[in-house]
């Protein structure tokens, strides 16, 4: 489940990164980051940590605990953090007309829709 979630999200992102510049405007990829990735990375990381925790509790072995520790540190921690702080920069690079250039963190677009987050003023 964990590898399928990662392959589904980042495999599609990698495919779009390689294909979109040749066939579409890069704003399509910017939209994908802004709306698809920003809303699903939370679910993928939290769901993966929950699945690994459940698996570790069922197996009760050292390997499971080490896998959970390494995944939580490198993916659930470091990679997730980098996506949050570098996501808006990626969108601004792909879409020069991005209307919120002062945003610093890639919050889920649903947060803005439901009023849980607000874009920084220009």
pTM of the entire structure? Answer: 0.82
Tens-digit pLDDT profile for residues 73-111:
998 889 899 999 999 999 999 999 999 989 999 999 999
Tens-digit pLDDT profile for residues 25-79:
888 889 999 999 999 999 998 998 999 999 999 998 999 999 999 999 998 889 8
Quote helix, strand, coil % in the chain, to nearest 5. 75, 0, 25
Query: Could you tell me the residue ranges of all domains in the chain?
Result: 2-20+28-113
Q: Which helix (H) or strand (E) holds 91?
A: helix 80-94
Q: What is the DSSP-derived secondary structure letter of residue 14?
A: H
What's the pLDDT score for residue 122?
A: 66
């Amino acid at each position: 489940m964990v590898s399928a979630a990662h392959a589904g999200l980042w495999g599609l992102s990698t495919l779009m990164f390689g294909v979109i510049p040749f066939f579409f405007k890069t704003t399509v990829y910017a939209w994908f980051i802004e709306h698809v990735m920003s809303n699903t990375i939370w679910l993928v990381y939290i769901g993966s940590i929950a699945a690994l925790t459940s698996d570790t509790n069922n197996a009760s072995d050292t390997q499971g605990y080490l896998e959970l520790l390494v995944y939580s540190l490198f993916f659930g921690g470091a990679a997730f953090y980098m996506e949050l702080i570098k996501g808006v920069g990626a969108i601004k690079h792909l879409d020069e007309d991005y209307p919120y250039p002062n945003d610093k963190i890639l919050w889920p677009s649903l947060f803005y829709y439901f009023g849980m987050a607000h874009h920084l003023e220009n």
